[in-house]
Amino acid sequence: MSIDFQMDAQGVVTLSLDAPGQTINTMDAAFRASIAAVADRLEAERAQLRGVIIVSRKKTFFAGGDLDELRSIPADGAEAFFQMVETMKRHMRRIETLGVPVVACLNGAALGGGWEVALIAHHRIALDKDKRQFGLPEVSWGLLPGAGGISKMVRLLGLQAAFPYILESQQFSAREGMAAGLIHALAQDEADMLAQAQAYIAAHPASRQPWDEDGYKLPGGAPNHPKVAQMLSVAPAALYEKTRGNYPAPERALAAMVEGAQVDFSTALRIESRYFTELCVGQVAKNMIGTLFFSMNEIKAGASRPAGFDKCTVQKIGVLGAGMMGAGIAWAAASRGVRVVLKDVDLSAAERGKAYSAKLLAKQVEKGRKTQAEADAVLARIQTTASLPELAGCEIVIEAVFENRELKAQVTREVEAVLGAEALFASNTSTLPISELAAASQRPANFIGLHFFSPVDKMQLVEIIRGQRTSPASLARAYDFVQQIGKTPIVVNDGRGFFTSRVFGSYVNEGMAMLGEGIPPAMIEAAGLQAGMPVGPLAVTDEVSLSLCAHIAAEARAALGSAYLAHPADAVLARMLDEFGRQGRAAGGGFYDYPEGAKKQLWPGLAAFAQAGKALPAMQELIDRLLFVQALDTARCFDEGVLESERDANVGALLGIGFPAWTGGTAQFLKQYGVAKAIARAEQLAAQHGARFAVPNWLRQQA
Q: Which is nearer to ligand NAD, 345 or 587 (CB)?
A: 345
Q: Which is nearer to ligand NAD, 330 or 678 (CB)?
A: 330
Nearest approach, Cβ of 603 to ligand NAD (angstroms)? 23
- What beta strand segments (E) does 282-371 contain? 316-320, 339-343
Q: Are 447 and 469 within 8 A, CB to CB?
A: yes
Nearest approach, Cβ of 156 to ligand NAD (angstroms)? 44
Q: Which is nearer to ligand NAD, 37 or 324 (CB)?
A: 324
> Of 159, 177, 344, whose CA–CA distance to 260 is shortest?
159
- Rounded Cα distance between 149 and 410, Å, is 59
Residue type at 57?
Answer: R
Q: Which is nearer to ligand NAD, 324 or 529 (CB)?
A: 324
Which residues bind to ligand NAD, rule: CB under 6 A? 320-326, 343-345, 349, 400-403, 407, 411, 428-430, 451-452, 454
Burial class (CB in 10 A: 0-12, 13-18, 19+), 24: middle
Burial class (CB in 10 A: 0-12, 13-18, 19+), 445: middle
256 half-sphere exposure, CB direction, 13 A CA radius: 36
Nearest approach, Cβ of 485 to ligand NAD (angstroms)? 16
> Of 185, 60, 166, 42, whose CA–CA distance to 117 is shortest?
60
Q: Which is nearer to ligand NAD, 436 or 639 (CB)?
A: 436
Q: Which is nearer to ligand NAD, 259 or 403 (CB)?
A: 403
Nearest approach, Cβ of 349 to ligand NAD (angstroms)? 5
Residue 185: strand pairing partners:
125
- Rounded Cα distance between 80 and 83, Å, is 5
10 Å Cβ neighbour count for 488?
Answer: 20
Nearest approach, Cβ of 581 to ligand NAD (angstroms)? 22
Cα distances (angstroms) measured from residue 106 to each of 121, 182, 268, 284, 660: 11, 12, 26, 32, 35
Nearest approach, Cβ of 499 to ligand NAD (angstroms)? 13
Nearest approach, Cβ of 460 to ligand NAD (angstroms)? 14
Q: Which is nearer to ligand NAD, 7 or 347 (CB)?
A: 347
Q: What are phi and psi of 463, to 5 degrees?
A: -90, 115
- Kindly state the DSSP code that residue 433 receives in the 8-state scheme: -
- Rounded Cα distance between 213 and 446, Å, is 68
- Rounded Cα distance between 507 and 55, Å, is 51
Cα distances (angstroms) measured from residue 52 to each of 42, 124, 200, 631: 9, 12, 11, 53
Q: Which is nearer to ligand NAD, 8 or 414 (CB)?
A: 414
Nearest approach, Cβ of 420 to ligand NAD (angstroms)? 20
Helix (H, G, I), strand (E, B) or coil at 187: strand
Q: Which is nearer to ligand NAD, 280 or 492 (CB)?
A: 492
Q: Which is nearer to ligand NAD, 458 or 599 (CB)?
A: 458
Please name the helix (run of DSSP H) or strand (run of DSSP E) that holds residue 127, with its range, or none.
Answer: strand 123-127
Nearest approach, Cβ of 455 to ligand NAD (angstroms)? 8
Nearest approach, Cβ of 426 to ligand NAD (angstroms)? 11
Nearest approach, Cβ of 586 to ligand NAD (angstroms)? 11
Q: Which is nearer to ligand NAD, 481 or 673 (CB)?
A: 481
Tell me which residue has its CB nearest to ligand NAD: 323
Burial class (CB in 10 A: 0-12, 13-18, 19+), 299: buried
